[in-house]
């Protein structure tokens, strides 16, 4: 099959979903239909890429064979895949394939796979460990879970979206890995904010401090992406504090199920929850530095 043979719909066209749609359209896939609860988003994107802006979920299913979903949380996911609602992606879903890219609880992915199969459809996790720029450029790090034959069926779409593509295993497993990725990333981000915040309080040169961090055991990918932003207070949102809180919460729920204590993950989530309480939840996760640097936030 050529790219043009794939008729694709995208549900949830915020910054990640919209940029996935733009990239696939650029790559010659048929992005036939888009949907968002904020209709202005879908109308604008549809006009840009010459797609249909659906006002019902069932229209997405009817106009596309492969539907990518990028929604906010577990509740939103259950709503679009409702087995009882008047409008749902499951209406007329026989033969369709759903690629679910949102960061949600692993069990929800498992439940959606069961519902999809009940309606003669297939479902796959496409968990993303990247951000907006990578979605637009088709350089996402994608971790997939579900049936291997489903993964193989949609491989051309996934390959176009990603620079690194990994099949993890059964449904729910990719979401578990993604939860751990984001949990560790969030811990690293909060730890870096504390290190730089203390450095600022001590009057150290923060550019020098970051250079030393980069050459020692304090180095991390977060230092590369967020260190300067923390220093100059540039918190343009690529991965919000609210999302960081949600994702750390998913990992903590998994830990509770296993009877494992994760004090660092809990402390990190508490910091991001504090950002939300202070009205900073829409800042990038680097905004956690507003809680640690002297003269900012609670330290002012």
pLDDT, tens digit (0-9, with 9 covering 90-100), for 15-32: 999 999 999 999 999 999
pLDDT of residue 258: 97
Tens digits of residue pLDDT in 27-64: 999 999 999 999 999 999 999 999 999 999 999 999 99
Please identify which residue in the block is written with the tokens 């997405």: 60
Other Cβ atoms closer than 10 A to 159: 13
Query: How many residues are listed for the chain in this entry?
Result: 300
Q: Which fold has domain 3-170?
A: Rossmann fold (3.40.50)
**Considering the domain 176-299, what is its CATH architecture?**
Orthogonal Bundle (1.10)
Report the relative pairing of strands 7-11 and 52-53 from DSSP bridges. Answer: unpaired
Is the per-residue pLDDT at 297 higher than 90? no
Average pLDDT of span 197-204? 98
- Kindly list the distances between the CA atom of residue 291 and the CA atoms of 218, 220, 280, in Å, as whole numbers in the listed order: 20, 20, 10
Average pLDDT of span 257-269? 98
Domain residue spans of the chain: 3-170, 176-299
DSSP H stretches of helix in 162-205: 173-201
Average pLDDT of span 207-218? 98
pLDDT of residue 130: 83
Average pLDDT of span 206-214? 98
pTM given for the model: 0.91
CA atoms of 70 and 101, how far apart (whole Å):
5
CA atoms of 137 and 189, how far apart (whole Å):
25
Token readout for 145 is 């879970």
Name the nearest CA neighbour of 8 among 99, 79, 102: 99
Please identify which residue in the block is written with the tokens 């809680």: 291
Q: Write the CB contacts of 77 (distance below 8 Å, at least 6 apart in sequence).
A: 69, 71, 100, 102, 104, 108, 112
Tens digits of residue pLDDT in 98-154: 999 999 999 999 999 999 999 999 999 999 988 899 999 999 999 999 999 999 999
Is the per-residue pLDDT at 300 higher than 80? no
- Residue 299 — very low, low, confident or very high, per pLDDT cuts 50/70/90? low
């Amino acid at each position: 099959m050529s790219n043009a043979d794939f008729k694709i719909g995208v549900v949830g066209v915020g910054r990640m979903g919209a940029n996935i749609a733009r990239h696939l359209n650029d790559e010659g896939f048929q992005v036939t239909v888009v949907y968002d609860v904020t209709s202005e988003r879908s109308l604008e994107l549809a006009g840009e890429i010459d797609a249909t802006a659906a006002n019902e979920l069932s229209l997405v299913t009817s106009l596309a064979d492969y539907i990518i979903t990028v929604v906010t949380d577990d509740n939103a996911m259950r709503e679009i895949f409702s087995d009882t609602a008047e409008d749902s992606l499951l209406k007329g879903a026989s033969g369709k394939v759903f690629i679910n890219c949102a960061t949600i609880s692993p069990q929800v992915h498992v439940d959606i796979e069961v519902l999809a199969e009940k309606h003669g459809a297939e479902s796959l996790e496409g968990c993303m460990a990247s951000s907006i720029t990578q979605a637009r450029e088709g350089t996402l790090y994608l971790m997939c879970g579900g049936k291997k034959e489903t993964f193989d069926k949609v491989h051309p779409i996934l390959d176009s979206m990603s620079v690194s593509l990994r099949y993890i295993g059964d449904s729910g497993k990719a979401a578990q890995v993604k939860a751990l990725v984001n949990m560790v990333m969030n811990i690293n981000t909060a730890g870096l904010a504390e290190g730089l915040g203390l450095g600022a309080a001590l009057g150290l040169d923060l550019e020098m401090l970051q250079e030393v961090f980069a050459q020692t055991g304090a180095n991390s990918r977060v230092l590369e992406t967020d260190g300067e932003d923390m220093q100059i207070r540039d918190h343009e949102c690529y991965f919000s504090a609210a999302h960081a809180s949600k994702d750390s919460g998913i990992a903590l729920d998994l830990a509770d199920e296993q009877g494992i204590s994760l004090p660092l993950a809990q402390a990190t989530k508490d910091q991001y929850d504090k950002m939300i309480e202070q009205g900073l939840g829409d800042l990038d996760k680097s905004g956690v530095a507003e809680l640690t640097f002297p003269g900012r936030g609670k330290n002012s």
